[in-house]
């Protein structure tokens, strides 16, 4: 297993629409294990493959708390098939938008259809943190980020902050200077 680097704003690959998984081979199993190890090491409660620059529709998650036994979950080609009318507000963060947290309102409960790591179809009904995390991760598969749910003012402020930090870190790589 290996920890892979997590890409962050303003990396344009975060905006890619990820491709469905078609083959359940050993390479997929290695990728799933690397994603899980990378998520636990970060640490995070979820990770989408695009966050390690792999544009495939794969999510790993573990929404258990520190004092509970681990419960690693794998979701391949996940789809939201039902959402509750009831909403839930959670202060979200994202490993690809480091050190930034804001409240996001989403459906409180979701039903998700997905393939497990053997390729078998499964369904899960989630609430609480797991429901929020699954929606956050499925947004990643469409090139979405939690900041897309904020006001334009808040979103533009955080996007600018990350663009400026990147320009300071690598001024010559990003821009030809006279
Ligand atoms: O670790 C994470 N915590 C989190 C907290 C609230 C809502 C969503 C998340 S997911 C995030 C990890 C991540 O960036 N996954 O894409
Ligand atoms: Ni995220």
CATH value at residue 19: 3.90.45.10
2 inside domain: no
5 inside domain: no
* pLDDT at position 147: 98
Using the predicted structure, report yes or no on whether residue 149 has a pLDDT greater than 70: yes
1 inside domain: no
Give the ligand 1 atom nearest the CA of 137: 16
Condensed to tens digits (0 to 9), the pLDDT of residues 28-45 reads: 999 999 999 999 999 999
Ligand (nearest to CA of 42):
1
Alpha-carbon separation of residue 155 from 40, 58, 107, 146, 167 (angstroms): 27, 26, 21, 9, 18
123 inside domain: yes
68 inside domain: yes
Per the DSSP assignment, residues forming a β-bridge with 19 are 56
45 inside domain: yes
129 inside domain: yes
Cα–Cα distance for residue pair 175/2, rounded to 1 Å: 33
Average pLDDT, the chain: 96
Interval between CA 93 and ligand 1 midpoint (Å): 5
**Does the beta carbon of 45 lie inside 6 Å of ligand 1?**
yes
| Residues annotated catalytic, as ranges | 137
For the entire predicted model, the pTM comes to: 0.95
Residue range of the domain that includes 162? 12-177
Q: Tell me what percent of the residues of the chain surpass a pLDDT of 90.
A: 93
* pLDDT at position 171: 75
Helices (H), 4-127: 26-41
Which tokens in the block code for residue 36? 């899980």
Give the ligand 1 atom nearest the CA of 104: 7
3 inside domain: no
Q: Say how many domains are in the chain.
A: 1
**Does the beta carbon of 139 lie inside 6 Å of ligand 1?**
no
pLDDT band at 133 (very low <50, low <70, confident <90, very high): very high
Nearest CA to ligand 1 atom 13: 94
Smallest CA-to-CA distance from 108 within 137, 79, 80, 129 is with: 129
Which tokens in the block code for residue 22? 């078609």
């Amino acid at each position: 297993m290996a920890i892979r680097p997590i890409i962050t704003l303003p990396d344009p690959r975060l905006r890619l629409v990820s491709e469905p998984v078609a083959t359940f081979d050993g390479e997929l199993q290695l990728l799933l294990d690397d994603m899980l190890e990378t998520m636990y090491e970060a640490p995070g409660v979820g990770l989408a493959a695009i966050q390690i620059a792999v544009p495939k529709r794969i999510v790993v998650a573990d929404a258990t708390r520190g004092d509970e036994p681990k419960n690693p979950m794998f979701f391949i080609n996940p789809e939201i098939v039902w959402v509750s009318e009831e909403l839930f507000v959670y202060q979200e963060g994202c490993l690809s938008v480091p050190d930034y947290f804001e409240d996001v309102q989403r459906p409180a409960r979701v039903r998700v259809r997905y393939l497990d790591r053997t390729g078998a179809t499964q369904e899960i009904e989630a609430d609480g943190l797991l429901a929020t995390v699954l929606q956050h991760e499925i947004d990643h598969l469409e090139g979405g980020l939690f900041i897309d749910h904020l006001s334009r003012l808040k979103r533009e402020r955080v996007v600018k902050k990350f663009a400026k930090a990147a320009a300071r870190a690598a001024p010559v790589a990003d821009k030809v200077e006279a």
